[in-house]
A and B are shown apart, each in its own frame.
Chain A
Amino acid sequence: MAPAEHPPVRLSHVTLVYDGGVRALDDVSLEVSRGERVCVLGANGSGKSTLASVVCGLLAPDGGTVELAGERVCADGRPDLEAYRRARRSLGLVFQNPDDQIVTSVVEDDVAFGPENLGLPRDEIAARVARELRRVAMEGYAGADPSRLSGGQRQRVCIAGALAMEPAVLVLDEPGSLLDVRGRAAIMRVMGRLAAAGTTLIHVTHFMEEALDADRVLVMGHGRILLEGTPDEVFSHGPELSGLGLEVPFAARLSERLDLPWTCDERQLLCELGTVPNSHKTLMEEHPDIKHVCKLGTVPNSQVEHVTFSYGRGERALDDVSFEVSAGSSTAIIGQTGSGKSTLLRLLCGLERPDEGRVVVDGHDTSSRRGSKAARRAVGYVMQHPERQLFAETVEKDVAFGPRNLKLPAAEVERRVSRAIETVGLTARRNDSPFTLSGGQRRLCALAGILAMEPRILVLDEPTAGLDPRGRAMLRRVLARLSEQGITLVQVTHSMEDAARSERVIALDQSRLVAIGTPREVFSRDNERRLREGGLGIPRSLRVARELEDRGWPPLGDPLTTDELVAAIRARAERAKVTVPFAREGRC
């Protein structure tokens, strides 16, 4: 155990250079005190994951001094391997992919793996396993098989496994980036509990909202710590953050747009907006101009009629689902993990055939072999993490794989490849290996490979999952461009904001369709309870608007985007002849 006066982590002037000359860490100094909760923010390639590896003793730097858990493991770039071994016993790490961290097939055995390696006595291991599983709220799953758990549950098992080693510091390197909203929320709850119990936490993430509860926030860029301070201090540097490929939390953006006192706390923002005297209610007419009326094409280009489907003899993955997709429209499918979303996509691109009902894609009924073949030609399917399908030596060759298979003439292949690469904005990287691209670029490269098939319908399974804010923005821009070109988009998404930007939303829960319509219809007040039961939320602008209405504001007309929310708040304020903020009445 480290003597009390030693901080668990102390780095001074640490530099780390990867093969090929990339400076992943450049003169980084950092001290973390016992019980502190530090959040490290940064885009892909900012050096934040390298920092995590250095802090948990898995990478020794090339220069600088590192002290971990009271051991001087690296002095002026000279690592002491024995000290590293000792220090690692008091350092815990949890990273992105739970599948890579679980070593065995029973939950409690996996949690026991670390303590077993430490050579602890059996009774002690058993006690720790039970205690940590309880701490991450997984005590009911001690005997379960991890491969049958959800991603969020598996990640909690990994956290328990790290905690069971009783680390002086727990490093969490993007623990939620591969999880759905519910899984991420559960991880955040566990972290809150750990912080309250005095565990020293270092949390690396690119979700800005997750940094709000930290004691201290570090922003990394180009291998350096560029900003440091409390969440409030750091997030007040909006322009600098967006320059680094990050974004400020929603509440901060909103407070800025409304000229309110700056805050990144949503509660506080709502207080600032205040409650409105009841008299103002009468000033409001009911329905302001409704934007977002979707102009649905007259010709549906795909139909799903009373489709029921199950894998093998198992439970139904889809149960009597019907809807139409019109040509050139954009549709979002929402629902929590296991609701049948991905299955629906597989049916739409002819990879599966329905047990009952019919799927017609671009005029081809997929129930026949010929029909499903024709449907596959009309549809481009972007699977989850499509970058996993990359294989060729260069971006160009990878993108050309599809057109070549179609046996098109060389000139046509060339035309399609160039066009697809240009659409996704990778022209400059055309002759590079796809494996040297950043995460977001790799995904765009995979997307280009599908676009080169020139599909009329593009079906995407969680296209933004696991990307940093910059990657997400790039991908959204490309999708918007494709939509303008008249390509029909159908995407499964966990982001209610992405769903709100689509023309139509389809909500699934437990294999059944629970809501369908324009975002405005689906996210209506009547549906809110039903969505919540299905593990779904509503877009945050709408959430803020509803909250304000509950506090006495006149109806704000269901704004779905930040722009609409800001406009609605300003319009109401003007009509009520008051300025924002309204005079506050009573307590908040």
Chain B
Amino acid sequence: MLRIAIGQYYAARSPIHALDARVKLVCTLAALVAIFCVSNAAQLGISAAFVAAALALSHVPVGRVLASVRPLLVFLAVLSLFNLFFVRTGDVVATLGPVSLTSGGVVAAALYTARFALALVTGSLVMLTTTPTQLSDAFDRMLSPLSRVGLPGHEIAMVFSLMMRFVPTLADEASAIIDAQSLRGGAFDEGGPIRRVRSIVPVVVALLASGLRHADGLSRALDARCYEGGEGRTHLHEQRLSRGELAAALLTAALLAALALLA
């Protein structure tokens, strides 16, 4: 059966799990931007060390992280091939008939792939160590300026977090429906583009109906549990800025400084 690992929470007690979700999100965002600016081996090494340290602190098994980024690995492979063959700077390293590899291409392939992989791991680490409610509460507070000007900041945050919570459920249902329809002769991997699009209609409509059913159930549950938006809500877990958050912020700042110095 298909198991979607994106957005799945991994329960554990670790400094990363305990981090205030707002700080975690801001630090991650800063680190992601910095990692995407990496352009030499030294910077890459520092970034890799930073991500590895975060991973080790999080107590999330490496296999779990890899499993959650696996669906995107194909994309990563294509990206690296593109760089390999289409970057034409530097000396020619090897020639295969009409195709030639340049040193610039090899470096770009390695560097871009590596930094993209680091970014993926960082992103998935946040999802693995933060629960949907924490995420929603964090977004809520960060988006609260929006609420002040009349936009539904809190609701956006809640919708987002519930979406993450329902991804695995809907993925399971999608795979069951695909199995059932293909046993009734529905062909999803044959024919031209129009036929393919037509052939997924039975799956999409069925899944849509199922999504509506879940939405109905969920709204009933939220009403029954007196969910009325962010106002007046309290929190079981204290969201307080303490030493952990300060350390995270300092470490992220150190990463940024180191990358800037090595540029």
Whether a CB of chain B sits under 8 angstroms from the CB of A120 is yes
Please report the C-alpha to C-alpha distance between residue A58 and residue B202 in the assembled complex, in whole angstroms.
33
User: Hey, which chain A residues are within 8 Å of B100, CB to CB?
Assistant: none
Whether a CB of chain A sits under 8 angstroms from the CB of B180 is yes
Whether a CB of chain A sits under 8 angstroms from the CB of B189 is no
A459 (CB) vs chain B CBs: closest residue: B183
> Which single member of A115, A144, A379 contacts B11 (CB below 8 Å)?
A144
Q: Are B184 and A402 in contact (CB under 8 A)?
A: yes
> Which single member of A91, A379, A388, A389 contacts B224 (CB below 8 Å)?
A91
Q: Are B9 and A165 in contact (CB under 8 A)?
A: no
Please report the C-alpha to C-alpha distance between residue A450 and residue B186 in the assembled complex, in whole angstroms.
12
Within 8 A of B (CB), among A24-73: 53, 56, 58
Q: Are B226 and A89 in contact (CB under 8 A)?
A: yes
Whether a CB of chain B sits under 8 angstroms from the CB of A112 is yes
User: Hey, which chain B residues are within 8 Å of A125, CB to CB?
Assistant: 234, 236
User: Hey, which chain A residues are within 8 Å of B33, CB to CB?
Assistant: none
| B223 → chain A closest CB, angstroms | 5
**Counting chain A CB atoms within 10 Å of each CB, which of B9, B181, B210, B225 scores highest?**
B225
**Counting chain B CB atoms within 10 Å of each CB, which of A105, A119, A161, A405 scores highest?**
A105
User: Hey, which chain B residues are within 8 Å of A100, CB to CB?
Assistant: 214, 216-218, 220-221
Q: Are B184 and A388 in contact (CB under 8 A)?
A: no
Please report the C-alpha to C-alpha distance between residue A376 and residue B180 in the assembled complex, in whole angstroms.
11
Q: Are A117 and B233 in contact (CB under 8 A)?
A: yes
Please report the C-alpha to C-alpha distance between residue A162 and residue B162 in the assembled complex, in whole angstroms.
19
**How many positions in chain B have a CB within 8 Å of any CB in the partner chain?**
53
B72-80, B101-109, B169-177: which one contacts chain A?
B169-177
Whether a CB of chain A sits under 8 angstroms from the CB of B94 is no
| A421 → chain B closest CB, angstroms | 15
Please report the C-alpha to C-alpha distance between residue A145 and residue B10 in the assembled complex, in whole angstroms.
8
Q: Are B220 and A58 in contact (CB under 8 A)?
A: yes
Whether a CB of chain A sits under 8 angstroms from the CB of B133 is yes
Please report the C-alpha to C-alpha distance between residue A99 and residue B168 in the assembled complex, in whole angstroms.
11
Q: Are A401 and B235 in contact (CB under 8 A)?
A: no
Whether a CB of chain A sits under 8 angstroms from the CB of B187 is yes
| B49 → chain A closest CB, angstroms | 29
User: Hey, which chain B residues are within 8 Å of A351, CB to CB?
Assistant: 179, 183
Given contacts A93-B224, A143-B11, A388-B206, contact A120 B176 (CB under 8 A): no
Please report the C-alpha to C-alpha distance between residue A99 and residue B202 in the assembled complex, in whole angstroms.
24
| B39 → chain A closest CB, angstroms | 37
Whether a CB of chain A sits under 8 angstroms from the CB of B131 is yes
User: Hey, which chain B residues are within 8 Å of A380, CB to CB?
Assistant: 183
Within 8 A of B (CB), among A367-414: 376, 379-381, 383-384, 386, 388-392, 401-402, 404-406
Within 8 A of A (CB), among B1-57: 1, 8-11, 13
Whether a CB of chain B sits under 8 angstroms from the CB of A137 is no
User: Hey, which chain B residues are within 8 Å of A299, CB to CB?
Assistant: none
User: Hey, which chain A residues are within 8 Å of B179, CB to CB?
Assistant: 346, 351, 381, 383
> Which single member of B1, B10, B173, B184 contacts A405 (CB below 8 Å)?
B184
Given contacts A104-B132, A117-B226, A391-B202, contact A383 B1 (CB under 8 A): no
Q: Are B184 and A450 in contact (CB under 8 A)?
A: yes
User: Hey, which chain B residues are within 8 Å of A235, CB to CB?
Assistant: none
Please report the C-alpha to C-alpha distance between residue A144 and residue B12 in the assembled complex, in whole angstroms.
9
Given contacts A113-B225, A126-B236, A405-B184, contact A104 B173 (CB under 8 A): no
Whether a CB of chain B sits under 8 angstroms from the CB of A462 is no
| A68 → chain B closest CB, angstroms | 13
Please report the C-alpha to C-alpha distance between residue A384 and residue B133 in the assembled complex, in whole angstroms.
30
Please report the C-alpha to C-alpha distance between residue A103 and residue B161 in the assembled complex, in whole angstroms.
9
A106 (CB) vs chain B CBs: closest residue: B131
| A353 → chain B closest CB, angstroms | 14
Whether a CB of chain A sits under 8 angstroms from the CB of B165 is yes
Given contacts A93-B220, A112-B236, contact A390 B1 (CB under 8 A): no
User: Hey, which chain A residues are within 8 Å of B177, CB to CB?
Assistant: 388-389
Whether a CB of chain A sits under 8 angstroms from the CB of B227 is yes
B231 (CB) vs chain A CBs: closest residue: A119
Whether a CB of chain B sits under 8 angstroms from the CB of A157 is no
Please report the C-alpha to C-alpha distance between residue A404 and residue B201 in the assembled complex, in whole angstroms.
15
Given contacts A119-B233, A121-B234, A389-B177, contact A109 B225 (CB under 8 A): no
Q: Are B220 and A103 in contact (CB under 8 A)?
A: no
Q: Are B225 and A389 in contact (CB under 8 A)?
A: no
B208 (CB) vs chain A CBs: closest residue: A391
A114 (CB) vs chain B CBs: closest residue: B225
| A278 → chain B closest CB, angstroms | 56
Interface readout for B212-253 with A: 1 if CB under 8 Å, 0 if not? 001011101111111110001111111000000000000000
Q: Are A390 and B235 in contact (CB under 8 A)?
A: no
| B186 → chain A closest CB, angstroms | 6
**Counting chain B CB atoms within 10 Å of each CB, which of A126, A311, A389 scores highest?**
A389
Q: Are B206 and A105 in contact (CB under 8 A)?
A: no
**Counting chain B CB atoms within 10 Å of each CB, which of A95, A104, A115 scores highest?**
A104
Whether a CB of chain A sits under 8 angstroms from the CB of B185 is yes
Q: Are B9 and A145 in contact (CB under 8 A)?
A: yes
> Which single member of B134, B161, B180, B217 contacts A381 (CB below 8 Å)?
B180
Given contacts A117-B233, A129-B236, A145-B11, contact A401 B133 (CB under 8 A): no
Whether a CB of chain B sits under 8 angstroms from the CB of A349 is yes
Whether a CB of chain B sits under 8 angstroms from the CB of A92 is yes
Q: Are A453 and B184 in contact (CB under 8 A)?
A: yes
Please report the C-alpha to C-alpha distance between residue A514 and residue B1 in the assembled complex, in whole angstroms.
25
A110 (CB) vs chain B CBs: closest residue: B133
Please report the C-alpha to C-alpha distance between residue A115 and residue B133 in the assembled complex, in whole angstroms.
14
Whether a CB of chain A sits under 8 angstroms from the CB of B209 is yes
User: Hey, which chain B residues are within 8 Å of A122, CB to CB?
Assistant: 234-236, 238
Q: Are A117 and B227 in contact (CB under 8 A)?
A: yes
B169 (CB) vs chain A CBs: closest residue: A99
> Which single member of A101, A143, A401 contacts B202 (CB below 8 Å)?
A401
Please report the C-alpha to C-alpha distance between residue A117 and residue B235 in the assembled complex, in whole angstroms.
9
| B213 → chain A closest CB, angstroms | 8
Whether a CB of chain B sits under 8 angstroms from the CB of A435 is yes
Given contacts A388-B177, A389-B180, contact A101 B221 (CB under 8 A): yes
B10 (CB) vs chain A CBs: closest residue: A145
**Counting chain B CB atoms within 10 Å of each CB, which of A117, A125, A145, A453 scores highest?**
A117
Give me 12 other A-B pairs in contact (C-beta within 8 A), A93-B224, A104-B161 excluded: A58-B224, A88-B226, A103-B165, A105-B8, A106-B131, A109-B133, A109-B236, A116-B235, A117-B226, A147-B8, A349-B183, A351-B183
**Interface residues in chain B, defined as those with a beta carbon under 8 Å from any beta carbon in chain A:** 1, 8-11, 13, 131-134, 161-162, 165, 168-169, 173, 176-177, 179-181, 183-187, 201-203, 205-206, 209-210, 214, 216-218, 220-228, 232-238
A-B contacts, 9 of them at CB < 8 A, read A58-B223, A85-B228, A93-B224, A99-B169, A106-B131, A108-B236, A117-B226, A147-B168, A388-B173
Leading 8 A-B pairs by shortest Cβ distance: A100-B217, A405-B185, A105-B9, A402-B184, A93-B224, A391-B205, A112-B236, A101-B221
